[in-house]
Homo-oligomer: A and B are copies of this chain.
Amino acid sequence: MRVLVQPQPFDPATLLDGFGSGAGAVVTFTGLVRGDGGIVALDIEHYPGMTERALQAHATAAMQRFGLTDVLVVHRHGRIAVGEAIMMVATAAPHRRGAFEAADFLMDWLKSRAPFWKRDIGPEGPRDWVAATDADEAALSRWDDPPG
């Protein structure tokens, strides 16, 4: 298990080298900054200390709940330009169902419970902080019951 919170860009190929060795299924999710509304970047603020602890705790929970053989979470903070990757999760499991569900679960949690806050940056400078969405809350509530 590996959890990284860093300002630097990350290289998926390097991080995934050897990941999932012995597993039958590896799922990765990568979140990229889209240029919607003419933005040029995002600023991501985090809570140093709490963010790393929360990610570690949820990566561990996902390992147990979905029977993973490995999990990787990397999340950037600071200014991230349009087109760049913000974060990636990778999950490894014996079969595809566990790997898919664990990645989906981790993403729903990251979107609404991980201590990150983001704001849009336009050509003119910082805009508003991005508001939390009901859709992200609803997505997370899917996991309240044990997986089927």
Residues of A participating in the B interface, judged by any CB pair closer than 8 Å: 12-13, 16, 20-35, 83, 94, 96-97, 99-100, 103-104, 107, 111, 139
Contact = CB atoms under 8 A, between A and B. Distances in A.
How many copies of this chain does one complex carry? Answer: 2
A100 B29 CA distance: 8
A13 to B, nearest CB: 4
Contacts of A99: 29
B25 A31 contact: yes
Q: Is the interface of A mostly helix, strand, loop or mixed?
A: mixed
Contact of A103 (B34, B94, B100, B139): B100
A83 B21 contact: yes
Contact of A96 (B13, B16, B28, B29): B29
A48 to B, nearest CB: 26
Nearest to A104: B100
Contacts of A94: 34
